[in-house]
Amino acid sequence: MRRVVIVGAGLIGLATGEALLRKGAAVELLERHPALGEEASGAAAGMLNPYGDAAGPGPLLEWVRAGLSYFPEAVYRLESRTGLDVRFRAGGMIEPAFSAEEEKALEGIHRWQSAAGIRVEFLSPETVREREPAVRSGLRRALWWPQAAQVDNRRLLEAYSAAFEGQGGRLRLGTAVEHFLTRGNRVTGVRTAAGEVSADQVINCCGAQAGFDRGLPFLIPTEPVKGELLSFRTERPLFRAILQCGDGYAVQRSEHELIAGTTSQRVGFDKQPTEAGRRKIFSVLERLTDRLAGHAPEGHWAGLRPASPDGLPLLGPTPLEGLWIAAGHFRNGVMMAPATGRWMAEAVWAGRPLNGLDAFLPDRFMVS
Ligand SMILES: Cc1cc2nc3c(=O)[nH]c(=O)nc-3n(C[C@H](O)[C@H](O)[C@H](O)COP(=O)(O)OP(=O)(O)OC[C@H]3O[C@@H](n4cnc5c(N)ncnc54)[C@H](O)[C@@H]3O)c2cc1C
């Protein structure tokens, strides 16, 4: 049996661990925080966006389109194994245009996405009003993505960890990895404050912190991009679909909880929510609806999206034999967790790079 150590119990580490257990590996997952969900996977909004914020055709678009298709099966498996409800809802996504300029921008998006085979349609103001009465009046048209869906990412973390432990995986919280252990050009395990853990294969799933071991002879160039979110208590759901508005959005997470975001800043590992962030999110909400005017948010937090220099994830082997990486999922790591887990498990199990995912090979950055 292969002994695998995974570093980092965000959604990517947990999904990879769960998939490897199903292959028959012995998996130990080490997480530095004493609880799950302290980093991006707990902070996210849980949108499953069928174009993943891609600005046009290319590897990012192909990756998210392939990845989204793995989601429903993962939800079914996790919920039936654990009895937990991850609040997966395929309610679609709407982006209204309130000005001629916004309408023109939506026409451009509609053009390239339809040509790329994404299901996207225009809705009339009457249809939007019928489906989403809380949206402000005065819109010209709206775009509608019927394949968009949402999940409660915190519940998804719980379900993955319950499924992982239920299948015999060992999850060690409060266990920070200090560095990787090597012999020659091979990884042999990891060093933690509590001692060494040896392994045949090690997978670095540390998100924005994936470059934590400065002693490696190559660079892992992940970088944090801060994003803030607000949550509101709602008497009853305000929206059925995800509502997008430029770079902001609102997601009705449950009957009584609405999440709204977001901001995007490169300010290092700072996770402090700010007054400027709160104002920016309120300005998005005010454009979408007048139903939250005067409501104080119940929650305000920030998380760090794991970014890479070219906006694509790092998935696959590193120049150090036995050391793998799955990081840099940026805005799409919740949506891509089931797919990344499956692809990484297949590659690590077979001992070869991921099929058809050459654009994401980590060695594009790793000059030793
Ligand atoms: C505000 C915001 C909104 C978002 N919204 C969405 C969304 O709607 N849809 C979507 O798909 N994605 C969204 N994302 C992106 C998504 O959250 C991330 O891409 C995803 O969570 C990355 O998962 P991960 O497991 O790679 O990283 P993380 O969740 O950051 O997990 C990495 C883990 O590694 C651990 N770790 C780090 N170093 C060590 C070490 N030395 N030893 C042990 N453990 C270590 C960390 O503590 C952490 O728990 C959002 C992100 C943010 C911040």
Residues 226-274 pLDDT 10s: 999 999 999 999 999 999 998 899 999 999 999 999 999 999 999 999 9
Cα–ligand 1 centroid distance for 206 (angstroms)? 8
Structure tokens at 319: 């120049």
CB under 6 Å to ligand 1: residues?
A: 7-13, 30-33, 38-41, 43-47, 176-177, 205-209, 212, 227, 229, 261-262, 303-306, 327, 329-335
Q: CA nearest 273: which of 233, 229, 208?
A: 229
* DSSP notation for 51-120: TTT-SSSSHHHHHHHHHHTTHHHHHHHHHHHH------B---EEEEE-SHHHHHHHHHHHHHHHHTT---
Give the architecture (CATH level 2) of 3-82+153-221+310-364. Answer: 3-Layer(bba) Sandwich (3.50)
Cα–ligand 1 centroid distance for 365 (angstroms)? 21
Structure tokens at 234: 């709602």
Cα–ligand 1 centroid distance for 130 (angstroms)? 36
Cα–ligand 1 centroid distance for 263 (angstroms)? 16
Calpha distance 40→11 (Å, rounded) = 9
* Sign of torsion over alpha carbons 63, 68, 73, 78: positive
Cα–ligand 1 centroid distance for 108 (angstroms)? 31
- Residue extents of the structural domains in the chain: 3-82+153-221+310-364, 93-149+223-307
Q: Say what the pLDDT of residue 355 is.
A: 76
* Ligand 1 atom index nearest CA of 331: 15
* Ligand 1 atom index nearest CA of 251: 8
Q: Say what the pLDDT of residue 56 is.
A: 96
Q: Say what the pLDDT of residue 367 is.
A: 61
Nearest C-alpha to atom 19 of ligand 1 is from which residue? Answer: 333
Q: Say which residue, 177 or 247, is predicted with more confidence.
A: 177
Q: Say what the pLDDT of residue 132 is.
A: 98
Q: Say what the pLDDT of residue 1 is.
A: 64
* Ligand 1 atom index nearest CA of 39: 30
pLDDT, average across residues 348-360: 88
pLDDT bucket at 354, cuts 50 / 70 / 90 = confident
Tell me which of 206, 225, 228 to substitute to probe ligand 1's pocket, judged by most ligand atoms within 8 Å of the beta carbon: 206
Q: Say what the pLDDT of residue 352 is.
A: 87
Q: Say what the pLDDT of residue 143 is.
A: 98
Residues 114-139 pLDDT 10s: 999 999 999 999 999 999 999 999 99
Nearest C-alpha to atom 50 of ligand 1 is from which residue? Answer: 44
Residues 151-164 pLDDT 10s: 999 999 999 999 99
User: Over pLDDT 90: what percentage of the chain?
Assistant: 95
Residues 22-65 pLDDT 10s: 999 999 999 999 999 999 999 999 999 999 989 999 999 999 99
Residues 279-322 pLDDT 10s: 999 999 999 999 998 899 999 999 999 999 999 999 999 999 99
Tell me which of 6, 28, 31, 213 to substitute to probe ligand 1's pocket, judged by most ligand atoms within 8 Å of the beta carbon: 31
Tell me which of 329, 330, 335, 344 to substitute to probe ligand 1's pocket, judged by most ligand atoms within 8 Å of the beta carbon: 329
For the chain, the average pLDDT equals 96
Cα–ligand 1 centroid distance for 138 (angstroms)? 37
Cα–ligand 1 centroid distance for 207 (angstroms)? 5
Nearest C-alpha to atom 1 of ligand 1 is from which residue? Answer: 227
Cα–ligand 1 centroid distance for 31 (angstroms)? 12
The CATH homologous superfamily to which domain 93-149+223-307 belongs is D-Amino Acid Oxidase, subunit A, domain 2 (3.30.9.10)
Evaluate whether 3-82+153-221+310-364 and 93-149+223-307 have a shared fold.
Answer: no
* Ligand 1 atom index nearest CA of 192: 42
pLDDT bucket at 368, cuts 50 / 70 / 90 = low
